[in-house]
Amino acid sequence: MINLKQKKANFVPLTPVSFLRRSAIAFPRKLAVKDDSVSLTYSELYERCLRLSSALSQVGIGNGDTVAALMPNTHQMLEAHNGIPMCGAVLNALNIRLEVSSIAYILDHSRAKLLIADAQFMSIAEEAISLANYDVRLLVTPSDSSADHSQLSYEAFLASGYPDPTAPKIENEMSPISLGYTSGTTGRPKGVLCHHRGAYLNTLGNVVAANLNQHSRYLWTLPMFHCNGWSHTWGVSAVGGTHYCLPRIDPERIMETIVKEGITHMCAAPVVMNMLLEWTEGKDFHLPSPVRILTGGSAPPTKVILAMEELGFEVIQIFGQTETTGPSLIREWPEDWGTLEPEYRAKMKTRQGFQLITMDEAIVGKPETGEEVVRNGKEIGELMFRGNTVMIGYLNNQEETDKAMLNGWFHSGDLAVRHPDGSIELKDRAKDIIISGGENISCIEIEEVLYSHPLVRNVAVVARADEKWGEHPCAFIEISRNAGKINEKDLIEYCRQHLAGFKIPKSFIFGDLPMTETGKIQKFQLRERLQQENNFGDLEKEI
């Protein structure tokens, strides 16, 4: 009897680009973004995005077309996050550290029609385009080092558009908004397609998780190309906060900007927190007002959390994947964290927690049946998600999509336990678990212990082939700068105080660890090293 049909007045496809329009209405003259080159109000930022959208439409780019972006954290990168989806196109934000061949592969795989590149990456962009099998138009955004590339000028392109008030032109909220290529494995990257509906909801979920509001001053150290900056590219704009962009990770500039601009929020991988801590060493530094720092990418070690909190940061762990449109777990705590003993608080914060309010379900269970593990903090299962912020699928890869979305769940590929309080704790990537003498050993547990050693700066534990046990834990150790001598014997002794015997690494390798630019230790490289070298004698020497 009741007509449930969507009407023009009561149904508008959800899209996170709607948030910028709203802030241009509510906060037209408020500072939206400040980077090394300009400051823009919400009115100005919105107009530039409308121009970008219209200019794209004029050259025939629209629904479902891919536009790639190769840029650090700049206002142009924020514009790409809004202007490209406004015309129906799909934003493919490229990791700026990728080698030319990978960029060329992605341009081909995504059939990108246009690449917007920062001038500092112009030669890489040109080379990648020349390697690609399809025509890709190049636009270059100015940077200090750039000459005038009038033919390729992003600014001239924007000027060719006009502020089209009918944008965004989204008809189906399940249509793609972004395409992100996953890295970290040795195979070819997969293109993760996320939809407007999921990006809209994940943005709101992260606004609530980060507790952003119009007074928020958000510092961009996390690359925007990383899961659309964990949705804060849209979220900070949604609440009318201000984006402060830093083009690279520089601890001194980060700390200076925090103090000078009154930063309230930022996101950073644990490795960035490490860099901030090292910078403060020997300095009498304390934040003038608290900064909420959301961390993820890998579990933050207890001692890093403690040290950050001493500086005045409030550390909150989140967890997500490109496939879940960014952060989808958050470490909630029922009361004020401040009432807890610091050590206990930091320990509790190393868990990944609970689904964001916009992710319907997160469970740890058997991937075949969805049957959940016992909530005892011990039984290991796969972390699985169901909800509106799960991706559309992998571009042109039905097989992997079907595998990832089997039985109505998104399979994260991460192994986890569930504690009696319901919180989820990641143990490892499925393939990172070590099976030694039939016992499952979590690399993260061992890493956590080694991280707590005062002289250890970074650590990665991986499985190493073992004639007797099948596998054993092998620890790669990077010692703190200016730290004293330390050797295998010391570390074994230290582990013995905190770990069951079968979990103690049987080999230690000292040296710098290979990192992604977002601070993830590239364990696959360490595994490759172990496989490639028959004689490990050289590796195991102390540095």
Contacting positions for a copy of itself (CB under 8 A): 1-12, 14, 18-19, 22, 25-30, 64, 172, 174-176, 193, 195, 198, 204, 207-208, 211, 213-215, 238-240, 332, 334-336, 353-355, 357-358, 360, 385-393, 395-396, 405, 408-410, 421-422
DSSP 372: B
CB-nearer residue toward a copy of itself: 73 or 322? 322
The CB-of-360 to a copy of itself minimum distance in angstroms stands at 4
Token pair belonging to 227: 């899961």
Q: Which is nearer to a copy of itself, 29 or 283 (CB)?
A: 29
Report the length, in residues, of the chain: 543
Task: Check: CB of residue 356 under 8 Å from CB of residue 327.
Answer: yes
We find the least distance from the C-beta atom of residue 60 to a copy of itself, in angstroms, to be 18
Q: Minimum CB separation from a copy of itself for residue 189, in Å?
A: 18
DSSP per-residue codes, 283-336: S----SS-EEEEE-SSPPPHHHHHHHHHHTEEEEEEEEEGGGTEEEEE---SS-
Tell me whether residue 176 or residue 519 sits nearer to a copy of itself (CB atom).
Answer: 176
Which residue, 208 or 259, is less far from a copy of itself as judged by CB? 208
Smallest separation (angstroms) from a copy of itself to the CB of 281: 33
Nearer to a copy of itself, 372 or 471 (CB): 372
Distance CA 523, CA 298 (A): 12
CA angle 269, 272, 276 (to 5 degrees): 145
Q: How far is the CB of 140 from a copy of itself (least distance, A)?
A: 29
Q: Which is nearer to a copy of itself, 194 or 491 (CB)?
A: 194
CB of 236 to a copy of itself, least distance (A): 12
Q: How far is the CB of 488 from a copy of itself (least distance, A)?
A: 42
- For residues 303 and 386, which CB has a smaller minimum distance to a copy of itself in the complex? 386
List, as one string, the DSSP characters of 50-72: HHHHHHHHHTT--TT-EEEEE--
The DSSP annotation for 407-449 comes to: GGSEEEEEEEEE-TTS-EEEEEEGGG-EEETTEEE-HHHHHHH
Q: What three-state secondary structure class fits 393? A: strand
Query: What is the Cα–Cα distance from 1 to 31, expressed in whole angstroms?
Result: 49
Shortest distance in whole angstroms from residue 239 CB to a copy of itself: 6
Which one, of 230, 168, 236, lies nearest residue 194 by Cα? Answer: 230
- Between 238 and 276, CB nearer to a copy of itself: 238
Provide the residue type at 117 as one letter: A
